Structure 1
Amino acid sequence: MTKLEKPVVHVVFNMSAAGSLRQALADMGVKEKVIVGLPDDLSFGPVDPPAFDIRARWVEDMLGFDSWQDLEQRSDLFWKRATGRGIAPVAWVCRRNAMEFAGFLEFVSRVGAHPFRVVDITEVEFAPDRSESTSWRTISFGVVPSHSIVRTRLLERQTTLSGQELQAYRDLWKRLRAENAPFRVVSDHGLQSAPITYFDKAIVTHVTNDWRKCSYVVANCLGALWDDGTYCGDLVLWSRVRALADEGVFEMEGDGVRMRNSSVRLASRAV
């Protein structure tokens, strides 16, 4: 790897990934900094523009979460550090993960002509651990443990994007921003816009005629989506459970504010 004059700083778009990468670098004796992962999740909400105040209002109105604005200072600091001209950034991305891919595309858009390197782990085959029998691929850098980062020698996979690749990513993000859909999801065709109802069908499959705790429904839906290779956060699913109850698809009992204090079942007309 060519020695760069500016200090190398690793940029990740997943909070969990930042800790694992930091530990991996320490284990390898590599004295390079890791920016704390992007606290925002650009796989949902308005992104044209991705102004934090606009996004925070959308999260409160559409997802029912009123503390998103608390992340604004941390998000602003992340972008200031990640795109600073005094560093040599290395951006880590898994294009199977909508949150990480969307964050990466926003980074590519913001960094402009400033040179950076990329570690794309989308197609990386990770060797099995003791508890695993086969190699595996991940849908999130956030679940790759530090020892796998070291053992797979991911640090050596740094590349520089060609001008054509950069333009393709910028064109993709320009299109997604113009569509400004409620969700961005990964499909066989890459990162695409999706409507607010995108996850509803998956949620309904985990609700029955009997009362089930909403935390149980959300957790099981998250697991099924993950097994299917789809990233989604619990905040999104919980908001859609409440919306489906409001629409009469589900009956809900409890406070309707906390998953653990609420239960749902199929409404009689939906049976």
Structure 2
Amino acid sequence: MIMPQKPVVHVVFNTSAAGSLRWSLAHMGLNATVIGLPDDLSFGPIDPPAADIRARWMEDILGFERQPDLEQETDLFWSRATGRDIAPVVWVCRQSAMEFAGFLEFVSRIGDHPFRVVDITEVEFTRRSDGSESTTWRAGSFGQVPSDSIIRARLLERQTTLTGRELQVYRDLWKRLRAENAAFRVAADLGLHSEPIRYFDKAVTSHVTDDWEKCSLVVAKILVALWDDGLHCGDLVLWSRVRALADEGVFEMKGDGVRMRNSSVRLASGTG
């Protein structure tokens, strides 16, 4: 008796990338399910990696507003992603701490259930044919890859399976990171490293001047500088550090102090 094939579910650790992948698959005429992890395991406590614990940490330490239904949506994602009734295809870019951390959690949960992986970390993407540039580029995250680039790079054909050794290396890495339980996980040199809460403070401070500037502009400049150095971080994480340093008296801030676009910042007197 021939057993029916399990339905393929594409598992993505970046909700923006999940949307792009859905469009690409539909454009290729494929009726496929894509699910995206709404949680970000690159910051906050991960031992245990419970969404509700991390949500409270984000409120208390980073000043984030709690996302409604985050815990329920996260639990649903993991239930679907690791279900034994599907054939998962997992997409990841190891240059993104968010995607890499989500991938490691998936590998730790999936056990011996088979899955395939599309790792775009070292894929060389080409510029659009109508562009003025002809150079290639690499993505800092799957979320940066446009829908048409997913198709043109034929990423769907890059599915592979991991060896037992590779799986164990990833599981050992995640076990160590969970034990360290640091404030941040940072992707660098194709690895993932634990870093303290003040890790980004030097970069933040270097982009605040004696003159008042909109916080949204300051955070954007910090993001670009970090990306140029091969580090990828969310804007809300950097915004939380701007506010924390203002609370400590390193910066002066005016405006509502809640939204970047409604706040301005400069170095406090005597710190420039």
- Normalised to the residue count of structure 1, the TM-score between the two structures is 0.95
Q: CA deviation at 1:230?
A: 1.4
Q: What whole-Å deviation, never above 9, does each CA across 1:232-251 have from its counterpart, x for those lacking one?
A: 11111111001111111111
The more displaced of 202-211 and 124-133 is 124-133
Give the corresponding residue for 2:59: 60
For the 8 Å contact 1:63–1:236, the answer to whether it is kept is yes
Separation in 1 of the partners of 2:84 and 2:125? 33
Q: Deviations over 1:203-224 (max 9, x none)?
A: 1121110111111111221122
- Between the aligned residues of both structures, percent identity stands at 76
Pairing of 1:172-251 with structure 2 (within 5 A):
172-188=173-189, 190-251=191-252
Residues 1:261 and 2:262 are matched in the alignment: yes
Cα distance, 1:133 vs structure 2: 2.4
Q: Equivalent residue for 2:142?
A: 141
CA distance in 2, matches of 1:88, 1:41: 23
Q: Could you tell me whether the CA contact under 8 Å between 1:56 and 1:69 is conserved in 2?
A: no
AA partner of residue 253 (structure 1)? K
Distance (Å, rounded) in 1 between the aligned partners of 2:211 and 2:32: 53
Gapped regions of structure 2 (runs ≥ 5):
none
Count of aligned pairs between the two proteins: 268
Residue number in structure 2 paired with 1:22: 22
CA contact 1:97–1:186 (8 Å) conserved in 2 = yes
CA deviation string 1:20-44 (max 9, x = no partner)? 1111111211222111x11111000
| SS class of match (2:244) | helix
Q: Say if 2:193 is the partner of 1:158.
A: no
- Deviations along 1:50-104, one digit per CA (max 9) or x if unpaired, are 1122111100001101323531111111111101110000000000000000000
Distance 2:69 2:9 in 1: 25
Q: Distance in 2 between matches of 1:27 and 1:189?
A: 31
Contact 1:46-1:181 at 8 Å conserved across structures = yes
Contact 1:53–1:69 at 8 Å: present in 2 too?
Answer: no
Q: Which runs of 4+ in 1 moved over 3 A?
A: none
Which AA in structure 2 matches 1:180? N
Find the aligned partners of 2:83 and 2:203 in 1 and give their Cα distance: 41
1:229 shift after superposition = 2.2
Contact 2:12–2:91 (Cα < 8 Å) also in 1: yes
Aligned to 2:6: 6
- Report the TM-score when normalising by structure 2: 0.95
Q: Gaps spanning 5+ residues in structure 1: where?
A: none
3-state SS in 2 of match to 1:252: strand
CA RMSD of aligned residues (A): 1.5
Instruction: Tell me if structure 1 keeps the 8 A contact 2:24–2:147.
Output: yes
SS in structure 2 at match of 1:11: strand
The residue number in structure 2 matching 1:34 is 34
Give me the whole-angstrom Cα distance separating, in 2, the residues matched to 1:226 and 1:189: 14
For residue 15 of structure 1, report the CA deviation from its aligned partner.
Answer: 0.7
Bigger shift: 172-181 or 128-137? 128-137
Equivalent residue letter for 1:156: E
Who is 1:80 aligned against? 79
Residue 189 of structure 1 and its aligned partner are, at CA, apart by: 6.0
| Other structure's SS at 1:185 match | strand
1:101 matched to which residue of 2? 100
Q: Is the contact made by 1:52 and 1:69 (CA closer than 8 Å) also made in structure 2? A: no
Give the conservation status (yes or no) of the 8 Å contact 2:94–2:190: no
Structure 1 match to 2:43: 44
**Partners of 2:24 and 2:148 within 8 A in 1:** yes
Give 1:226 shift.
Answer: 2.1
User: How far apart in 1 are the matches of 2:147 and 2:257?
Assistant: 38
* C-alpha separation in 2, matches of 1:42 and 1:263: 29
User: Conserved in 1, the CA contact under 8 Å of 2:188 and 2:230?
Assistant: no
Q: Distance in 2 between matches of 1:253 and 1:235?
A: 18
